Amino acid sequence: MFKKNYDSTGVVMMQYRKLIKNSEDLSVLGYGCMRLPTKNGRIDEKKAEEQLLYAFNQGVNYYDTAYPYHSGKSEVMLGKFIKNNKIRDKIYIADKLPAFLVNKPEQIQSFFNTQLKRLDTHYIDYYLMHMLDSLKSWEKLKEFGILEFIEEKKRSGQIRHIGFSFHGRPEEFIKILEDYDWEFCQIQFNYLDEYNQAGLAGLKRADELGIGVVVMEPLRGGNLAAKAPEKVKAKFAEYEEQRSPAYWALRWIWNHKEVGVVLSGMNVDEHIKENIEVANITIANSMSDDEIAIVNEVKEIYKSLMKVPCTGCNYCMPCPFGVDIPGIFSEYNNKYFFGGQMARIQYIGREIGIFGAGKSAANLCTQCGKCEKHCPQSIHIREELKDAHKVLDNRLMRYGLSVVARFMGPRREK
Ligand code: SF4
Ligand code: SF4
């Protein structure tokens, strides 16, 4: 059933899977427009256009965006890219209703209108309820008339397929999945999240129900790729063929036949190339026992090193008191992944307010708890921030860095 795809000259090409029975073929690699390249704090449109076009020319036909990505500019960029290249009929747009911002029924239509306008299109191919985390969040939308909205939009052709993206507990995922006649869903799935959130059980249940699955966070915000710790790299290097950690992580996901599209938020040329290469050659159920054994050993290494399971999704942000929660957790994990003093120096830079970010360390936390309500990983953010501060702060180093900063130039404070 799963075969590689070759062109007439024998070159291996992008593979396609159906997300929805009797529907179009989608490239197994989807372009996540959440992390487009930036310059001076804005999307670098020239670079983004080049990268999106490169992927398109390599067979990628599924492009995922959302209302809040790049503060609304991701949708605009995708719309421009499609128009510039006159390819609306050749690609599939996935976009999402910001369910967490909907407080009144009329906002549903209003968000949708804005999205069509930003994308400069008359219809959205794959429309998702963004970030449902419990049956309650879906029920809130139903009270606001989402079912009638969906029915009307599908009838008019403005929405072609309907789904939801999920971050939450496994049991809530199943409840939402079984509550409506969904066509597809989007879940976080990678070799470290086999039993987190929707997880493998959710993937299998969706498949049983005939609901297509799009995978997000395949590399866990880069933690399974370039940021992989040396111990992990060394373990992978034991395998006969040398492959990057990203290659292994993606290969593991596509090995699951239930997976439709895997989204990757790409903005580095080499990563795009590599992701396409793995997408072209990995067919489902093709990993050998030796390969699976290596991945299982790597999982154990990560578990032993990671302090906080933060994916850097940013849903907890902004903190009203300026704490850069994902940034701090990244430094906290980095301290254990990579050792050395770099993570500590970066953290102390936050405390003092240098390195361009202003003050953003954990000691600004007032324990208000706002962030924890939004964390899809159910991280006890307040407690973890306290621990991170204990590990990363260092009085002597703080003093030394303050002195250096004074000589280097004016301190930047918020
Ligand atoms: S609990 Fe702390 S980190 Fe979270 S939002 Fe409140 S002040 Fe910010
Ligand atoms: S703490 Fe939670 S919400 Fe915030 S970035 Fe990490 S995983 Fe996302």
The closest ligand to the CA of 368 turns out to be 1
Looking at residue 86, which CATH number applies to its domain? 3.20.20.100
Q: How far is the CA of 369 from the centre of ligand 1 (A)?
A: 5
The closest ligand to the CA of 308 turns out to be 2
Ligand 2 site residues, Cβ closer than 6 angstroms: 310-316, 325-326, 329, 374-375, 377, 379, 381
406, two tokens: 């004074």
Instruction: Assess whether 300 and 208 both reside in one domain.
Output: yes
Q: How far is the CA of 373 from the centre of ligand 2 (A)?
A: 10
List Cβ neighbours of 2 (8 Å cut-off, separation of 6 or more): 15, 257, 283, 284, 285, 286
Instruction: Assess whether 288 and 339 both reside in one domain.
Output: no
* pLDDT for position 29: 98
**Can you give the residue range of the structural domain that contains 331?**
325-408
Which one, of 27, 18, 26, 7, lies nearest residue 279 by Cα?
27
Instruction: Assess whether 281 and 235 both reside in one domain.
Output: yes
Which one, of 237, 257, 414, lies nearest residue 322 by Cα?
414
Instruction: Assess whether 241 and 166 both reside in one domain.
Output: yes
**Structural domain count, the chain:** 2
Coil, strand or helix: which one is 290? helix
Distance CA 303, CA 188 (A): 17
* pLDDT for position 351: 92
| DSSP states of 314-359 | -TTPPPTT---HHHHHHHHHHHHHH-SSHHHHHHHHHHHT-TTS-S
Residue 72 lies in a domain: yes
Instruction: Assess whether 298 and 359 both reside in one domain.
Output: no
Atom of ligand 1 nearest to the CA of 322: 8
Instruction: Assess whether 161 and 234 both reside in one domain.
Output: yes
Instruction: Assess whether 300 and 331 both reside in one domain.
Output: no
Instruction: Assess whether 388 and 262 both reside in one domain.
Output: no
187, two tokens: 């879940």
Residue 315 lies in a domain: no
Atom of ligand 1 nearest to the CA of 367: 1
Residue 385 lies in a domain: yes
Ligand 1 site residues, Cβ closer than 6 angstroms: 319-321, 323, 325, 365-371, 381-382, 385
Instruction: Assess whether 250 and 115 both reside in one domain.
Output: yes
Q: Which residue CA neighbors atom 8 of ligand 1 most closely? A: 319
Residue 363 lies in a domain: yes
Residue 44 lies in a domain: yes
- Domain end marker among 304, 336, 359: 304
* pLDDT for position 411: 40
- Domain end marker among 254, 270, 304: 304
Residue 318 lies in a domain: no
Report the chain (414 residues): mean pLDDT per 10 consecutive residues: 77 93 96 95 96 98 96 97 98 96 96 98 98 89 98 98 88 92 96 84 96 94 82 95 96 97 95 96 94 95 87 85 91 83 90 77 96 92 98 93 70 38
Instruction: Assess whether 120 and 173 both reside in one domain.
Output: yes
* pLDDT for position 355: 65
Q: How far is the CA of 351 from the centre of ligand 1 (A)?
A: 16
Question: What are the backbone angles phi and psi of residue 8, rounded to the nearest 5°?
Answer: -65, -15
Q: Which residue CA neighbors atom 8 of ligand 2 most closely? A: 313
Which one, of 262, 237, 242, lies nearest residue 252 by Cα?
262
Amino acid symbol at 324:
D
The closest ligand to the CA of 382 turns out to be 1
Q: Which residue CA neighbors atom 6 of ligand 1 most closely? A: 368
Instruction: Assess whether 287 and 358 both reside in one domain.
Output: no
* pLDDT for position 215: 98
Residue 277 lies in a domain: yes
Counting other chains too, the contacts that 203-206 makes at CB distance below 8 Å and 24 or more residues apart are 203/256, 203/258, 203/259, 204/258, 205/174, 205/177, 206/177, 206/258
403, two tokens: 């002195």
Cα atoms in the 13 Å half-sphere on the side-chain side of 183: 19
Radius of gyration of the chain (CA): 22
Instruction: Assess whether 356 and 255 both reside in one domain.
Output: no
Which one, of 159, 154, 156, 83, lies nearest residue 115 by Cα?
159
Which one, of 69, 65, 70, 56, lies nearest residue 32 by Cα?
65
Residue 1 lies in a domain: no
Q: Which residue CA neighbors atom 2 of ligand 1 most closely? A: 365
